[in-house]
Amino acid sequence: MDRRTCVVALAGGLVSTRTVAQPQPAAKTYRVGFLTWATPEQSTPLLHEFTEGLRELGYIDGRNIVIEPHYGDGTQNRLPDLAAGIVRSRVDVIVTGANPSTAAAKRATTTIPIVMVGTLDPMGFGLVASLARPGGNVTGLCVDASAEMSAKLLGLLTEMVPGLSRVGVFRQVGYPEPPLESAAQRLNVEVYVVDVSNIDELERAFAAMSRKRVGAVIIRGPLFYVRRQQVADLALKHRLPAVHALKEYAQAGLLVTYGANLLDLYRRAAIYVDRIVKGAKPGSLPVEQPTKFDLVINLKTAKALGLTVSQSMLLRADEVIQ
């Protein structure tokens, strides 16, 4: 190699080294608003699953993503102000729990992507245009998009309570209950509905059920989640076998639950966040419907109510609480 070639080679090496040594642009840190009307204590397991889902995708809270939780502490009226505050903070994505939180966020912004988790009938409540193509800025995972769920819960009660002829339904005002007439007729059961507009009416609602001599109750609507322990205690006090879709109610003391796994839905919500921050439009991401349902039986509650759970049902259960 002659001197000129050597000098050119060295210069090229210096240029290359200098280029490599130049500062690289820092990776963006994404900000996610987490909105729920539950309390921090009630939300901790859900937030943990969501954070774990993000970690599996390479997002570490406090490093390349920041999660900003906002809690309604069981008060639905706080949600509009909390949603407005999240929007003002200019987060990249908002993750919402259940219908009230999602509706509040949707009213607060039409531009920031919203990932809903555990919503009930999102089309019926006007949260999305359709499940396949949500449109707008909302997508995510629903806990029940099918009218068949209430019929399934009714069937479980008739299977567990011998001679059941009248079933009460707690219907949250503003959350129309899917029709049960055909299922009730098929099972030879009369259905009695009590409307509940706020959580303070629970005692009155259970008393009304007792006066109507219902033999069991179906709990529906997100209103009751923040007071599910009270719901379970009142059901036992009035000696009413009760069913809900979420297993957290069975863990609180309800007789039986059958439905999607809420913890799993929150973990899967991380997939939506990942796709959105990588450029996907929420309106083109289909809403995910649950495909796996857990049957949970609280055997302790069954014994307290004087009910015998068949061996076949116990074998079908995904979880039995002793």
Instruction: Answer whether 30-145+261-284 and 148-260+294-321 agree in fold.
Output: yes
Residue 312 · residue 297 · CB < 8 Å: no
**Distance (Å, whole) CA 269 – CA 187:** 37
Sketch the domain layout of the chain as residue ranges.
Answer: 30-145+261-284, 148-260+294-321
Contact in structure between 168 and 193 (CB atoms under 8 Å):
yes
Per-residue pLDDT of the chain (322 residues; tens, 9 = 90+): 444 444 334 344 434 434 444 444 457 899 999 999 889 999 999 999 999 999 999 999 999 999 999 999 888 889 999 999 999 999 999 999 988 899 999 999 999 999 999 888 898 889 999 999 999 999 999 987 555 777 889 999 999 999 999 999 888 777 656 667 788 888 999 998 888 887 788 888 899 898 889 999 998 877 788 889 999 999 999 999 999 999 999 999 999 999 999 999 999 999 999 999 999 999 999 999 988 899 999 999 999 999 999 999 999 999 999 9
Q: Class of the 148-260+294-321 domain? A: alpha beta
The model's pTM is: 0.85
Strands of the 65-71 sheet, one edge to the other: 65-71, 30-36, 93-97, 114-120, 138-144
Q: Are 277 and 238 in contact (CB under 8 A)?
A: no
CA 5 vs. chain centroid, Å, equals 68
Residue 285 confidence (pLDDT): 98
- Quick one: 30-145+261-284 is in which CATH superfamily? Response regulator (3.40.50.2300)
As a whole number of angstroms, the distance between CA 174 and CA 101 comes to 14
Q: Which long-range contacts (CB under 8 A, 24 or more apart) does 228-235 make?
A: 228/252, 228/254, 229/253, 230/202, 231/202, 232/301, 234/202, 234/203, 234/206, 235/206
Judge whether 86 and 72 are in contact, CB under 8 Å.
no
